[in-house]
Amino acid sequence: MRRRTLWLILLSCAVPRIAALALWPADPSTLYYQLSSGFLDERRPVIAGELTTHIEPFYALTLASFRFVTGNHVELVLLLQIAGASLGGLLLYRLVLDTTRDARAAWIAALLYALSPYLIRQSVAFMEVTPAVVLLLACAVRLRAIATSGQAVTAGVLLGAVVLTRFSFLPIAAGGIVLALRRGGPGRGAWTAAACAAVVVPWMIYSRQVSGAALPGRIGENLYESTSEWAESIGVPRTNVDVMLPALDAAARAELARRGDADPTRVEVDRVMGRWALDYARTHPFRVLRMKMANVFYALQPRLLPFTHRRGEAVVVHGRLELPSQSPRPWAFEAAAAGFQCVLLAGTAAGVRIRRSHLLREDAFLAVVAMSVLMVNVVFFPTSRLLAPMTFVLMFYTAVAGSALGAPIGR
């Protein structure tokens, strides 16, 4: 890549993100930022004095390192995060160029990444979306070819970091290992699997010792928030599921108290929620099927999910969940994000058609990312934040379609 191209892409990605700092002030109240404080101050995963592993550590550790090198200046931390986000534009440019050999498509993809309203917003938020997208792009670039053991190990480390960003990306890591096996042979595939395990397994062992569960203790909570009468009553995924969380937590703890456990752990509470969700699915299979089919529609529609910001907390009244009026999103950002997503959805449909013969070969990792992310969003509940990690896949195919539109007749 020429130096001029490199700097143009970095600037095109960084400028709108730096401008976003004026619109969205830093919010250090997120759980990831609080967890980074635990790593920074106590060298352990601590939130509000509680040792916890229910949130994956990679992004919090990244934040802790940024805070350390900047002297804990929030604005400088965000500038480092913006630099990392801008690196994603370079990775997407390289991915498209290496895959399609089409410089015009590569530029279109980089500019789509640079101008994405939602990714711009997330780049100045202390949430895991930005590192997740950049890590997945790095995996896509690395997994295009596994020619040496070093490349295989790098791929495994990246896949492990992806899992420690969100454990719901575990199917992506599994798919990546299969691709490394197919493209690099059994030996290099084994190196990728071993490197991925070396990153992920120690955290799982530590989590088991700390909390009693190797996986994050929120799986049952997330399942109940999307698979229950309460979920139907408040209109998940249109409504932010977190509005029901205090009432759900209180109900689960009350259930455990009736069984004689007055001070349950987070994992024990989560298991109760998971059992309730599974009982509901067994009792009402067709209602659950309808809810999951609706999730497919919501995941593929262009509006930001949930449709409203959370306001207040839901309460249980006579056995029914009632919630206060929720806050609408700012219309300008809603319109910009939805319009941009419409372009990506239409472009992806056209781009997939153009590259349909490549889907199981060159584009296999893109398919793994998209299908894995969609599967998790359908099984649980779709949100723009959980769907965002596959945005680069939509940009890839939209860029292919956009380049084809500009191609001369007869090309």
pLDDT in tens, 275-316: 999 999 999 999 999 999 999 999 999 999 999 989 999 988
| φ/ψ (deg, to 5) at 213 | -140, 135
The confidence score (pLDDT) of residue 407 equals 63
Single pTM value for the model: 0.95
Find the domain containing 336 and state its range: 3-142+330-405
Is residue 148 situated within a structural domain?
yes
At residue 15, the pLDDT reads 97
- State the pLDDT at residue 45: 96
In this predicted structure, the answer to whether residue 129 has a pLDDT above a threshold of 90 is yes
**What size, in residues, is the chain?**
411
pLDDT at 37: 97
Report the candidate in 397, 294, 308, 291 with the shortest Cα–Cα distance to residue 344: 397
- Report DSSP state, residue 125: S
95-113, pLDDT tens digit by residue? 999 999 999 999 999 999 9
The region, left, alpha or beta by phi > 0 then psi within -120 to 50, assigned to residue 172 is alpha
Distance CA 240, CA 320 (A): 17
Reported confidence tier of residue 3, pLDDT bands at 50, 70, 90 = confident
DSSP state of 18: H
Confidence grade of residue 318 (pLDDT, cut at 50, 70, 90) = confident
More confident call, 149 vs 1: 149
Displacement of CA 138 from its chain's centroid (Å): 15
* Domain assignment of residue 288, yes or no: no
Q: Would residue 82 count as lying in a domain?
A: yes
pLDDT band of 320, cuts 50, 70, 90: confident
Tell whether 31 and 83 lie within a shared domain: yes
Q: What is the pLDDT of residue 391?
A: 98
Looking at the fold, whether 147 and 136 belong to one and the same domain comes out as no
Average pLDDT over residues 79-101: 97
Residue 293 resides in a domain: no
Domain boundary among 173, 189, 215: 215
194, 215, 236: which is the final residue of a domain?
215
As a whole number of angstroms, the distance between CA 158 and CA 324 comes to: 42
Across 37-51, 113-127, 223-237, 395-409, least confident range = 395-409
What secondary structure does DSSP assign to 157-178, as a single string?
Answer: HHHHHHHTT-GGGHHHHHHHHH
Average pLDDT of the chain?
Answer: 95
**Do 138 and 29 reside in the same domain of the chain?**
yes
Confidence of residue 88 (pLDDT cuts 50, 70, 90): very high
Q: Are residues 129 and 159 in the same domain?
A: no
Domain count of the fold of the chain: 3
Per-residue pLDDT band for 168 (boundaries 50, 70, 90) equals very high
- Within-domain flag for 298: no
The verdict on residue 292 lying in a domain is: no
Is 41 among the domain residues?
yes
Q: What's the confidence (pLDDT) of residue 408?
A: 58
Whole-number pLDDT of residue 410: 40
Task: Tell me the pLDDT tens digit for each residue of 382-407.
Answer: 999 999 999 999 999 999 999 999 76
Q: Please indicate, yes or no, whether residues 7 and 135 belong to a single structural domain of this protein.
A: yes
> Which tens digits make up the pLDDT trace of 254-283?
999 999 988 999 999 999 999 999 999 999
pLDDT of residue 250: 94
User: Is residue 411 in some structural domain?
Assistant: no
- For the record, the structure tokens of 247 come out as 């009432």
Query: Where residue 62 falls among pLDDT bands split at 50, 70, 90?
Result: very high
- Please state the rounded mean pLDDT for residues 328-354: 96
Q: Please determine, for residue 86, whether its predicted confidence score (pLDDT) is greater than 50.
A: yes
Which among 295, 328, 361 is the end of a domain? 328
Residues 325-346, mean pLDDT to the nearest whole number: 95
Residue 251 and residue 181 share a domain: no
pLDDT of residue 298: 97
